[in-house]
Amino acid sequence: MGGLLALLAPFLSRLHGGKPENQAANADFSPFHLLYLLGLCLLLLLWEMQRQNRDPKMLALLGVLVAINSTLRFMDIAIPIPGGFSPIFFLIILTGYVYGAEFGFLMGALTLLVSALITGGVGPWLPGQMMTAGWVGMSAPLCHILVKRMKLSGSVVERILLAGFSGLWGLVFGAIMNLWTWPFFIAPSGMSMDVEGGWRSLIASYALFYLTTSLVWDLSRSAGNMLLIWMFGAPVLRALHRLKLRFQFEILTSGALVDDPIYNGSETTGVKSNVS
């Protein structure tokens, strides 16, 4: 919510008392404020998510998956692909779908962070990218709820649903990422913020800006996401599900009183599988 407020704040600022003659250069709400608020929200969210994921198994899995995804992004940079296509969303969505919202958020945010560190992509855009990529992973379990309720697991509909979801995020990701520049860098024109026309006019001018500057770029990302999920989604999902089962072991530390009947309540050290 805080992240959304940060991204929408420039709009609200202009709508509630922003003066047209000042809005271009002397706005009260600057990119610096946006970055500050977004940064704090991201830090809070990351702290809360990591607090709930201290299991070494999850840390190792996340680390290795982030490494694989960052390698994919590195290849994407090394081999220029037209438009905004990036293979990173494929794994972010699928891991979020299989391992849950927290894992998905961390996967999205950390992939962007680590890949930015190795490719020199650190910049003021990074907190926004991390937050949005985190949202991509965090929202993926929504598909899982639908699939589970309709008992579609393993079917073609599951793949179609995931492909559609990834395609939608391909467009939404670009639309969200524009928000940190559009209010501040677009000079008065049909595409700039029209504060006098209210919300409708504001949305219309943003839609125009998006259509003119970003749609083609984002369509490439969207199509790429859908293609990757459609082509490779099923085997990757199977692999992730299989590993999820293998990762459900618990290390029982020495001196721990085991309630499990197999240990007869004795103090022991060992490995206990949670796989049923």
Give residues 148-177 in contact with another protein (rule: CB under 8 A). Answer: none
- The residues in 26-55 that bind another protein, with binding defined as CB under 8 A, are 26, 28-33, 36-37, 40-41, 43-44, 46-47, 50-51, 53-55
- Supply the minimum distance, in Å, between the C-beta of residue 66 and another protein: 4
Q: Which of 114, 31, 40, 89 is nearest to 221 (CA)?
A: 89
Query: Site for another protein (CB under 8 A): which residue of 24, 142, 168, 258?
Result: 24
Which of helix, strand or coil describes residue 30? coil
- Supply the minimum distance, in Å, between the C-beta of residue 8 and another protein: 9
The tokens of 40 are what? 């704090």
Cα gap 75→91, rounded to integer Å: 15
- The residues in 78-107 that bind another protein, with binding defined as CB under 8 A, are 106
Q: Which residue intervals of 16-155 are DSSP H helices? A: 20-23, 31-51, 56-78, 88-99, 101-119, 126-139, 141-149
Query: Given the rule CB under 8 A, which of 118-126, 141-149, 159-167, 168-176 is the region that contacts another protein?
Result: 118-126
Q: Which is nearer to another protein, 65 or 163 (CB)?
A: 65
- The residues in 257-276 that bind another protein, with binding defined as CB under 8 A, are none
Name 263's Cβ contacts closer than 8 Å, sequence gap at least 6. 270
- Supply the minimum distance, in Å, between the C-beta of residue 99 and another protein: 12
Phi and psi for 109 in degrees, rounded to 5? Answer: -65, -45
Instruction: For Cα atoms 78, 80, 85, give the angle at the middle one, nearest 5 degrees.
Output: 110
- The residues in 200-239 that bind another protein, with binding defined as CB under 8 A, are 208, 212, 227, 231-232, 235-236, 239
Q: Which is nearer to another protein, 49 or 176 (CB)?
A: 49
Cα gap 91→101, rounded to integer Å: 13
Query: Site for another protein (CB under 8 A): which residue of 154, 251, 265, 273?
Result: 251
Query: Site for another protein (CB under 8 A): which residue of 150, 154, 190, 245?
Result: 190
